[in-house]
Amino acid sequence: MNDIMAQLKENVIQGRITQDDEGIDDTLTGPGVVELTRMALDSKIPVKQIIADGLTAGMEIVGQKFNAKEYYVPDMLASAEAVSEAMDILKPHLEGSGVASRGKFAIVTVKGDIHDIGKNIVAILLKGAGYEVDDLGIDVPTEKIVEYVREQKPDFLGLSALLTTTMLVMGEIIEALSAVGLRGSVKVLIGGAAVSEEFAREIGADTYCADGFEAVRVLDSYRAE
């Protein structure tokens, strides 16, 4: 049983989605993340443990390697995709497993901005970390975002903008949320090439995240509070 968990973690680090996948270093053979997740379920390993000791433990190492510039974007995406596939397999078993929902995270590229790559990477990493992720898309008008927050009540709202022109919209969104009394109901995170910690403070966002891994750390720290 520990063997399956160790293999699962190692295969997440290698971004090996299935047994046919060569993985990042082309060193592993045998079952990949999808097969190992099924084997773990068959061996009656608790879902909570599969997620914590296999998937999350593996992604943590991936995050470290990415930050150390040992891993690049395609490596990180392969691992995140592997975890995402594993989560789909585990989904029917989550109820009654003692795995608390990590909360709902909505992410959106603001009005006037059509850049979606950064947003998509953040979404896939948070999904891999066990959050319920709602991707609202790109170039989304502020009113629609406010409406969404009112109706769907996400715990977290991630705003993305790449341009110096569109980053200003982030401030407008926060103002609009405040104006209708919704600002207190949701933590607002911002990210994108043009923005910074300082800009987050300026517009009254809760925080700035440099990348998807930081978003995971920040959300986890909010849950710990």
Partner 1 sequence: MIIVGEKINASIKSVGQALQNKDEEFLINLAKDQADAGADFIDVNAGTGEGPWENAAAAMEWLIQRVQTATDTPLCIDSDDPSVLQAALSRYNGETVMINSVDAEPKRLDAIGPIAAERQALLVALVMKEGGIPRTVEERLEAADIIATRLSAMGVREEQLYFDPLVLPISVDTSQCLVTLKTIEQIKARYPSAKTIMGLSNISFGLPNRGIVNRSFFLMAAAAGLDAAIMNPLDSRLMSFVKVADMLSNRDPMCRGFIRAHRKGLLNE
Binding site for partner 1 (CB under 8 A): 69, 72-74, 77, 114, 116-117, 120-121, 137-139, 163-165, 168, 193-194
Of residues 1 and 114, the one with the C-beta less far from partner 1: 114
Nearest distance from C-beta of residue 165 to partner 1, angstroms = 5
Is the CB of residue 62 less than 8 Å from the CB of residue 33?
A: no
The smaller minimum CB distance to partner 1, of residues 107 and 186, is found at 107
Residue number, 44 or 69, with CB nearest to partner 1: 69
Name the minimum Å distance from CB 162 to partner 1.
Answer: 9
Q: At its nearest, how many Å lie between partner 1 and the CB of residue 136? A: 13
What minimum distance in Å lies between the beta carbon of 115 and partner 1?
8
Specify the residue, 51 or 140, whose C-beta has the smaller distance to partner 1: 140
The single-letter code of the amino acid at 7 is Q
The Cα angle at residue 216 between residues 149 and 165, in degrees rounded to 5:
60
Number of other CB atoms surrounding residue 126 within 10 Å = 23
Structure tokens at 95: 């109820």
**Concatenated DSSP letters for 193-215?**
TT--HHHHHHHT-SEE-SSHHHH
> φ, ψ for residue 97 (rounded to 5)?
-90, -5
